[in-house]
Structure 1
Amino acid sequence: MRNILLTLSYDGTFFCGWQRQEYRKISKGEGKTEQTRCTKKLRTVQEEIENALQIVHKQPVVLYGSGRTDSGVHAAAQAANFISPIDSIPLENYIPALNARLPRDIRIHTAEEKPLNFNARFNAVNRTYRYFFYCGKTPPAWEMNYVWPLYRYPDVAKLNAMSSCLRGETDCSAFAAAGDKSVSKYRFIDHAVFFMQGEKLVFEICANAFLWKMVRSLAGTFIELEKKGGTAEDFFSVLKAGDRKKAGLTAPAQGLFLWNVAFKGKRVYP
């Protein structure tokens, strides 16, 4: 029995998120008599990798991710672990063995052995996300699935003045999507900062954990407030109100990347 931690990247464009999905019923028709039909299983990153692991191990293997990403969201360095019931496969062979059986939009980059009680979700001390905006006139065609085109250059100084309100233990209720089931809406935010990369504006945020659609809600709110001439005080008022209706729009999924997962350091609980 070995506990193996994988670091992987994926293009989320054609995935319905990270988490394995069951058959889902979709309403069809209008009025009181609604018909339902079952769709085929939704394509997810977790299931694709578990399928590859099953081929390699010749039996089902469960994969545990450090966190879930939504439909259309990408990952530069997601982390996930699994318990291997065999020890005949050299550790370094997992990378080519899995990549050979995975679709092109998922790649395994590293594999390392961890103690049996290690869990990618519960042992992570923080997670970093990056959201990419395109500020030029027209994004290249190959960038369209990975940026939110703004067609203007926002004031980075004003954006950073607003994002500086997020440092430390913060009640993030104003940026939780409806239906978020988190017991506590407090999160410990290490940093939240904007910076330019060529014609791209990047929003980077690092925290112990995130609420459902929290980063996209923050990204949309910052851009909306900046465009209206808002200040750090305006953002702080939204933050303290704790009401999602007072925040801005939810940014599109395609600009968001799970950028890094850290396992060293002290984990701070909300």
Structure 2
Amino acid sequence: MRNILLTVSYDGTDFCGWQRQDKSDKGKPVRTVQGEIEKSLEKIHKTHINLTGSGRTDSGVHAFAQAANFYSTIDTIPVEKYVPAINAFLPPDIRIVDSKEVDESFSSRFSATSRTYHYFIHTKNPFASQMRYVWPVHYKPDLEKLNKMASYLRGELDCAAFAAAGDASLSTCRYIDDAHFFIDDKDSDIIVFEITANAFLWKMVRSITGSLIHFEKSGKEPEYFKEVLDSCDRKKAGPTAPPTGLFLYKISFEGERRHV
């Protein structure tokens, strides 16, 4: 039995999120990233294979490098060959970009020490080819002010103000390593919000992003964002940013795993 770790890239536009859903929507099967990869693994292994992901991205959210592992009973496939083997059965909006063997006790979910998201914000008029991957705001935000607001997102914080209704987490506390904005080096009309934490609440990144942009555009001072954060009151947060611009960018398995 081998434990195989995959790095997965996907365009989340036409998926109902990462997590497999056994129910149907109005009689139609629910399409998920996990479900599609498990179908491919079943074709290779001739039996159902459970896939464990590092994070459960929502409907419409993308990934540069999601991490997921599964246990394989096949010893004859060289580990690097899982990439073309799985891709051969996948739709074009999911690609396996790397595969390697890991320790039997490794879990993509529980061994992860941090998760990094990138949110892409277009400040002008995007090309049609960009529309699935950015949030067009049609104005140039003050990057310095945004970063002053984002500077309050450091350390162990109660993030209840940015948790979506219905979040089932036992605790709303998370440890945020870093959060900041920068100009995309390939397109100066795009600014990127990067945030790294041990884990995230449901729609937390989109809620934070939408709040930061809304408060900056409304002329709020950076301290106002801290007030909202400290209030733990979801009603004081700004609108939730759309899923289009959000990418799961990186999963780290190095360093300390924080349990907040």
Q: In the alignment, does 2:171 pair up with 1:200?
A: no
Letter in 1 for 2:177: D
Map of 1:256 onto structure 2: 246
Q: What are the equivalent positions in structure 2 for 1:129-140 lying under 5 Å apart?
A: 129-136=117-124, 138-140=125-127
C-alpha offsets along residues 205-261 of structure 1, whole Å, 9 cap, x if unaligned? 000000000000000000000001111210011001101110000000011000000
Q: In the alignment, does 2:106 pair up with 1:127?
A: no
Q: 2:95 aligns with which of 98, 103, 107?
A: 107
Residue 135 of structure 1, CA deviation: 0.5
Residue 96 of structure 1, CA deviation: 0.6
Q: What are the equivalent positions in structure 2 for 1:1-270 lying under 5 Å apart?
A: 1-24=1-24, 38-136=26-124, 138-197=125-184, 198-270=188-260
* 4+ aligned runs moved over 2 Å, structure 1: none
Letter in 1 for 2:190: K
C-alpha offsets along residues 18-54 of structure 1, whole Å, 9 cap, x if unaligned? 00112246xxxxxxxxxxxx42221000010000001
Letter in 2 for 1:9: S
TM-align CA RMSD: 0.8
Are the counterparts in 2 of residues 161 and 231 from structure 1 also a CA contact under 8 Å? no
Q: In 1, distance between residues paired with 2:27 and 2:246?
A: 27
Map of 1:35 onto structure 2: none
Question: Radius of gyration: which is bigger?
Answer: 1
Letter in 2 for 1:89: I
Are the counterparts in 2 of residues 125 and 265 from structure 1 also a CA contact under 8 Å? yes
Q: In 2, distance between residues paired with 1:154 and 1:67?
A: 30
SS in 2 for 1:72: coil
Residue 65 of structure 1, CA deviation: 0.2
SS in 2 for 1:265: coil
Q: In 1, distance between residues paired with 2:13 and 2:102?
A: 31
Residue 106 of structure 1, CA deviation: 0.4
C-alpha offsets along residues 57-103 of structure 1, whole Å, 9 cap, x if unaligned? 11111100001000000000000000001211111110011111100
SS in 1 for 2:157: strand
Q: In 1, distance between residues paired with 2:80 and 2:22?
A: 32
SS in 2 for 1:249: coil
SS in 2 for 1:165: coil
| TM value normalised by structure 2 | 0.97
Q: In 1, distance between residues paired with 2:163 and 2:108?
A: 23
Name structure 2 gaps, 5 residues minimum: none
SS in 2 for 1:170: strand
Letter in 2 for 1:4: I
SS in 1 for 2:118: strand
C-alpha offsets along residues 106-158 of structure 1, whole Å, 9 cap, x if unaligned? 0001111111111100000000000000012x100000000000111100000
Letter in 2 for 1:182: S
| TM value normalised by structure 1 | 0.94
Name structure 1 gaps, 5 residues minimum: 26-37
How many percent identity over aligned positions?
58
Aligned pair count reads 257
